[in-house]
Amino acid sequence: MIFIIALPILFLDQFTKLIAVKNLSLNHSVPLIKDVFHLTLIHNRGAAFGILKNQTPFFIFVSILAVIFIYPALRNNKNKKYSFYNVSLVLILAGAMGNLIDRLRFGYVIDFLDLRIWPVFNVADSAITVGAILLGWSILKSKGKTQNGKP
């Protein structure tokens, strides 16, 4: 299950970044839906929303830690292969790996999806965000079952 979900996301992330780099000019925006959705190539040297700029060694370390902790947790969890919990961890893992590849190759993350009301992001960021939301939901759901007396 890990590879069935993670590899396509990782491929899509790296492929779309390659297309963006080859076809967009740095810091210039191309509107696809004017004032709603643009393609804007940026080099993000920070974390989400550009915070902690130029802390690449820290982000590489954190990404490697995420992979070190998430991958074994998934491999050791044989129950409920496609549970929201497992899928959420795979999404976070794939996103962390996608951005880690960028940081190791370039020293920054390639972002290009621009919704105009949100900082520019990429496929890996989307996977991490969706994974974090699913993870929170699965944890809340499991706590609700425990509190109601269900295992």
What is the per-residue pLDDT for 76?
78
Q: Residues with catalytic annotation?
A: 111, 125
Cα gap 20→22, rounded to integer Å: 5
Cβ-proximal residues to 57 (8 Å cutoff; 6+ apart), any chain = none
Nearest CA to 103 out of 149, 143, 67 is that of: 67
What is the per-residue pLDDT for 71?
85
Helix (H) or strand (E) holding 73, with range, is helix 56-76
Record the pTM. 0.87
What is the per-residue pLDDT for 39?
98
Cβ-proximal residues to 88 (8 Å cutoff; 6+ apart), any chain = 130, 131, 132, 133, 134, 135, 138
Residues of the chain scoring pLDDT < 50: none
Which residue type occupies 32?
Answer: L
